[in-house]
Amino acid sequence: MTVVQKLLAFSALATVSYAACISSGSASTINAALQAGGTGAVVQLCPNAVFTISETIQFTAENQELSTQGYPTDNSRAKIIIAVGSNITSAVWGRWTSGVKVLNLQVDGNRPNAGAFGGDALVEMGGGSFGQVVSNNVITNTRSWSCLHYIGSGQDDNPCREGTVSGNTIGPCGTEGTDASGNGLWADGVSFECVNSVVSSNNITGSTDGGIVIFGSPGSQFVDNIITSSATQLGFGAINMVDPSYGGNYSNVLVKGNTIIGQGTGLFNLGIGIGNQVWSNQHPDPYFGPATITNNKFIGNVGFSIVINGWRNGLTVTGNDISGITTPSSSFADAGQCQPQVQTSFNANEELIVYQPSIAGPSDFQSDFTSVPQNATNWLCLKHPLPSAESFATLSVNGQASTVVDLAHFHVQIQGDGNVVGLDTTGGVWTVKWASGPQSSNCGADGSSCVLFFGSDGDLSVHDAVGQVWHSATSGTGKSVVFSNSSPYLQVLNAAGAAVWSIADGVKT
């Protein structure tokens, strides 16, 4: 072969192996290629290309593939990022198209810049289809409730099935807390509702709702994933088996070899929650297996590693390793607002918990499980550690907003009748420790006209729709108010930090 022949052969080979990649453009360039390509089209983006999109990229026919050319696994993976000002939440959409593949891309919902926004997940797959693959991608910063969602089909004879989610790096997804209107800002890592599928070897960091939420998904396997909390924020659960999809059917679900890590000042409230009476929203009927949860590892700040309440027809929970858990749990979390049994388990650092009367049918639980006596139905109640006292330079809370401050095992509220009350919540029993009195009948129907107020003049007061109800008479001397979970419960301090007014024990009238 001459040199020229060799070169020709090489370039012919290169042409066959590598179709032209798309080096830049918007979603419409990619969508046009998918539309023109039809069934089985492989649309490749060039390494290092960046696509800033305002329209969702949609698969249009079965067995299409969207990937980075050469299948890199580093930062040269092509990046698809949602544009600031766009109102889309899904960057890639593959519902109801069998065999489509999303490979070796970086998909960024851009929540920090584009903002949180209600809608479908950042990557939306599933529906009545089979064989969809999402592998080796980075999926991060969803604007909505989930980074990656495989939705079920709702059709018994055509379920979402045989999906693969592997080798992805996922997160952060959402943030803890709510917006000003009270909408949750949290999001799932992977939300999965397909049968006979595999979710494996994904690296999920900074999910704030569920890391992997298993929606029934009978016959599916969730193996060898690493799920790590945010370094600073609360994640509700790492792996959830708490939703009633498929009528609560979790038969032949396998959760094996996953590592769940609570890091930094972040935490997971629940490692693996199992059953219909575990999450904050309970469901009427127990879920059912047989399901197996085995050889998972729990490390660091995990409030409760495994909690089971409400299951029938088979559950095996063996070989799970809790030796790396941070103790005491109170060093990274607070259970002061939880039900009595939850507080008791928390204080005893119980990690593997079952409410045995809720289990029907065969079960095999490893020996370090605690069988708790009470039927606690909401294990999703942990908070970050709370201070024993908190100081305010200004304050304005009305009777509708109610909460003035949450302290360790202590809650201060202004009621709808204007009475300001301090309650000890130890053991899940709320005991009044102090009350400002008096009650007012001029707070308005929703209590919002009664306001606890501390302004720059240094006077602490409650006023209602008519006028002032009481005040500390510290105008000119008060500089801060301090609430504490022990006596003195409430003080107005002067500039030198000395108390000029206080509520110590009992009830002030």
Ligand X SMILES: *[C@@H]1O[C@H](CO)[C@@H](O)[C@H](O)[C@H]1NC(C)=O
- Residues forming contacts to ligand X in the complex (CB under 6 A) are 87, 169, 195, 203, 205, 218-219, 226, 249, 251, 277, 357-358, 375, 377
Q: Which is closer to ligand X, CB of 290 or CB of 488?
A: 290
> What is the nearest approach in angstroms of ligand X to the Cβ of residue 171?
6
Catalogue the E-assigned strands of 201-320: 203-205, 210-214, 221-223, 226-228, 234-241, 253-256, 259-262, 267-274, 287-288, 291-294, 297-300, 302-308, 311-312, 315-318
List, edge to edge, every strand of the sheet that includes 363-365. 42-45, 65-68, 101-103, 133-135, 164-166, 198-200, 221-223, 253-256, 291-294, 315-318, 363-365
Nearest distance, CB of residue 372 and ligand X, angstroms: 12
Tell me whether residue 144 or residue 329 sits nearer to ligand X (CB atom): 144
Q: Is the dihedral of CA 240, 241, 242, 244 positive or negative?
A: positive
Nearer to ligand X, 324 or 438 (CB): 324
Instruction: Let me know: does 228 contact 172? Beta carbons within 8 Å.
Output: no
Q: Would you give the end-to-end CA distance of the chain in angstroms?
A: 104
- Residue 135 or 251: the one with the smaller Cβ distance to ligand X is 251
Give me the least distance between CB of 124 and ligand X, in Å please: 15
Q: 3-class DSSP state for residue 139?
A: strand
Question: Which residues lie below 8 Å from residue 430, measured CB to CB, with a gap of 6+?
Answer: 411, 423, 424
Minimal distance in Å, beta carbon 431 to ligand X?
A: 24
Nearer to ligand X, 169 or 415 (CB): 169
Q: Residue 128 Cβ, how far from ligand X at the closest point, in Å?
A: 15
Q: In what order do the strands lie in the sheet with 403-407?
A: 403-407, 410-414, 420-424, 431-435, 506-507
CA separation for the pair 52, 386 (Å, rounded): 41
The least distance separating ligand X from the CB of residue 220, rounded to whole angstroms, comes to 10
Structure tokens at 248: 């609560």
CA 9 to chain centre: 53
Give min distance, CB of 258 to ligand X, in A.
12
- Expressed in percent and rounded to 5, the helix, strand and coil fractions of the chain are 10, 40, 50
3-state SS assignment for residue 254? strand
Q: How far is the CB of 287 from ligand X (least distance, A)?
A: 11
The nearer residue to ligand X, 92 or 405, going by C-beta atoms, is 92
Identity of the residue, 109 or 219, whose beta carbon is nearer to ligand X in the bound complex: 219
Which amino acid would we find at residue 13?
A: L
Whichever of 288 and 501 has its CB closer to ligand X, that residue is 288
DSSP 231: S
